[in-house]
Amino acid sequence: IYTNPNFQKSDLTLDALAQLADVPNVQYLKDASSNTGRLLTLRNRVGDRLKLFSASAHIPLAVMLIGGVGWMAGPACLIPRQSVQLYELARAGRWEEAMGLQSQLWQINELFAKYALAACIKAGLQSQGFAVGDPIPPQASLSPTARQEIEAFLSQR
């Protein structure tokens, strides 16, 4: 299940998600609500029946701290090695090191929130040599200034 209430203009209730957690082939939730407390409430209700992934609207490490299984988000496409390192540190319970890395990486989430998600992914991938083209209308490409911000962040990694 992927919930993104900002784009969907609605959201599944906790009761609906709890019912869906009982469906055998529904095993994961990627949540882009930015309400990490809601994820903890859901986890308390359904346990491991519904495994949680962080979207870019959450602090990935916070979701992993409450039992999330990973980070499935656009920023992770641009910084895959660091994303894997963050995951491995969290799984090893090395929270202080993980928080240091999360703090360094958070700027990419801020850029994604500041600009259009697809445009950020495409600009970041293009700056790394992947010919992915421009976003599909109605989404626009990033401005040159925004593109420079993405490239500046990536050049530091």
Determine which of 2-11, 30-39, 140-149 has the lowest per-residue pLDDT on average: 2-11
Q: What is the per-residue pLDDT for 87? A: 94
Average pLDDT over residues 26-40: 92
Six-digit token string for 140 = 């626009």
Name the residue with higher pLDDT: 153 or 8: 153
Confidence label for 10 from pLDDT (cuts 50, 70 and 90): confident
CA distance 80 to 87: 10
| pTM (predicted TM-score) | 0.86
Name the residue with higher pLDDT: 6 or 100: 100
End-to-end CA distance of the chain: 31
Q: What is the per-residue pLDDT for 55? A: 86
Average pLDDT over residues 110-123: 92
Confidence label for 57 from pLDDT (cuts 50, 70 and 90): confident
| Sheet of 70-71, strand order | 2-3, 28-31, 51-54, 70-71
Whether the bond into 138 is cis, omega within 30 of 0: yes
Task: Work out whether the CA dihedral 143, 145, 151, 154 comes out positive or negative.
Answer: negative
Q: What are phi and psi of 83, to 5 degrees?
A: -65, -45
Confidence label for 94 from pLDDT (cuts 50, 70 and 90): very high
pLDDT for residue 56 is more than 90: no
